[in-house]
Amino acid sequence: MTDPHPPLRSYGRLKTRAIKPRQAALMESLLPALRPPADAFDPRALKPDAAPGWAEVWLEIGFGGGEHMARQAGRRPDVLILGAEPFQNGVASALRHVDEAALANVRIHDGDARELMVRLPDASLDRVFILFPDPWPKARHNKRRIVQPETVAELARLLKPGGQLRFASDWADYVDWTLERLGASRAFRWTAERADDWRTPPADHLTTRYEEKRLGDCAPVFLDFVRA
């Protein structure tokens, strides 16, 4: 009998090289404390005892090496940032950033973001980042992209009215792909009014390590959407 809910598959390499000893130690000691609950949960409850509630809850889908997530968390200690990344070397790197900055407002899901998203309640997120995701540029691999109609629908469920979604890529086809799929949803409004709105990094953007490599086929494009 076919399983109606087969396990999610994270495409691509989950590990490329040996993890450095210090980071490997953090995978054992720090990661278990930062993992969100395995069942459905309210992210606003993930706070130290007696601490005030989080002002906002953000999600970064595919945080890469974690430098953007960690720096945003350092800027906004009143915001809880959930991060999801299946690539183990990236998780190890992120743990180092969290440890060095002594960040108390980061939680890490070391797996596919969609596994985490289904455990979150409706309208529980204030902001979502999808920054320079794997472009899967070959047409036969486009189905592996994280931006799909079902993902858009899930983001619409999770974001509060007025919540923000930022997508960035340096692959022109993926930018067009994303505009088409977000544009097909009545739940989202693209905020751009002029070309500079997508050509110029937003004022609160923090450059990622991948972005600096310029591996795509166009200059970085930044698409900001608002949940209607």
> 110, 126, 134, 170: which one is catalytic?
134
Please say whether the beta carbons of 225 and 91 come within 8 A. no
Residue in 86, 96, 82 with CA at minimum distance from that of residue 45: 82
Distance CA 130, CA 116 (A): 15
Structural element, H or E, at residue 224: strand 221-227
CB neighbour burial string for 158-186, b if at least 16 within 10 angstroms, e if fewer? bbeeebbbbbbbbbebbbebbbebbeebe
Q: In terms of Cα–Cα distance, which of 83, 101, 78 is closest to 31? A: 83
Q: Which of 94, 180, 81, 67 is nearest to 128 (CA)?
A: 81
Burial of 14 (0-12, 13-18, 19+ CB in 10 A): middle
Give Rg (Cα) of the chain: 17
Residue 164 main-chain phi, psi, to 5 deg: -115, 140
Whether 134 is a known active-site residue: answer yes
Active-site positions read 134
